[in-house]
Amino acid sequence: MTDPVFEARTHLAPVETLHQVIALLNIPPLEAAALNSGAPPHRQQATIYAALAEWATCSAQAAEQFGGQEHTAGLTTQYAFLIESIDEHATSWWTAPGDGCAAGIEASPDTAETFARIVRERYLQHVADHLDDFDGWLEQEPYLRVSVWDIRRAADGNRHALREGDHPPQTYARVLKASKIAPHAVEIRTPLQVFHQVHARQRS
């Protein structure tokens, strides 16, 4: 009888391929530490395979419970997001966002917390892919902040009814912040984290 572990050993995929599998399976973005980046390749393989196995188990349960349901609008949430480079010495969270910030509106089946992480990871990947455009920004050692609002909840809790349709998608999150409506999730990365995570994406 063939030893299944030995059989699996002969079919191990390289780390680069496993990263592609992570993307294909829509696994929520994983931190470099969670992926064991920087460790020897076989250690990275073991870590990623374990993450894939955990995600596969959860996905199988989700498919069993919800697979027969179509993804209707009721299963997604409209989020407004704002990506800012912030001053660590700023005395107020409510400081008006600068001209260089990015914002938008997007539908997602994820929680606000997960969606904020997705936006943050996507932005850092964009920086890594267009590093020449961000050299000056990185030299300023920026703090990165991603704020996310559940649009329905933000409108329901606001007596002035700042409706999404009254503002362009790229400005709505700014309006919510200017109106001092607290976001439903916030992700912050320090300058050191930004530097390491951007350059880790360059090498992957």
Q: How many whole angstroms separate alpha carbon 204 and alpha carbon 197? A: 11
How many CB atoms lie under 10 A from the CB of residue 65? 9
Tell how strand 143-150 and strand 102-108 pair up. Answer: unpaired
Mean pLDDT of the chain: 81
pLDDT value of residue 16: 83
Mean pLDDT of 80-88: 88
166: helix, strand or coil: helix
pLDDT score of 73: 45
Torsion angles phi and psi, residue 27, rounded to 5 = -70, 135
Between residues 79 and 6, the one the model is more confident about: 79
What pLDDT sits at residue 2? 60
Mean pLDDT computed over 26-39: 75
- Give pTM, 2 decimals: 0.61
In percent, the amount of the chain with pLDDT more than 90 equals 24
**φ, ψ of residue 99 in degrees (nearest 5):** -65, -25
At residue 203, the pLDDT reads 60
E strand residue ranges, the chain: 77-86, 102-108, 143-150, 185-189
pLDDT at 148: 97
Average pLDDT over residues 155-177: 74
What is residue 59's predicted lDDT score, i.e. its pLDDT?
82
At position 6, the amino acid (one-letter code) is F
pLDDT recorded at residue 159: 54
Reported as half-sphere exposure (CB side, CA atoms, 13 A), residue 188 has a value of 7
Beta bridge partners of 80: 105, 149
Statement: residue 71 has pLDDT above 60: no
More confident residue, 157 or 82: 82
> Is the predicted pLDDT of residue 155 greater than 90, yes or no?
no
Confidence of residue 99 (pLDDT cuts 50, 70, 90): low
Over residues 102-115, mean pLDDT: 93
pLDDT at 199 over 50: yes
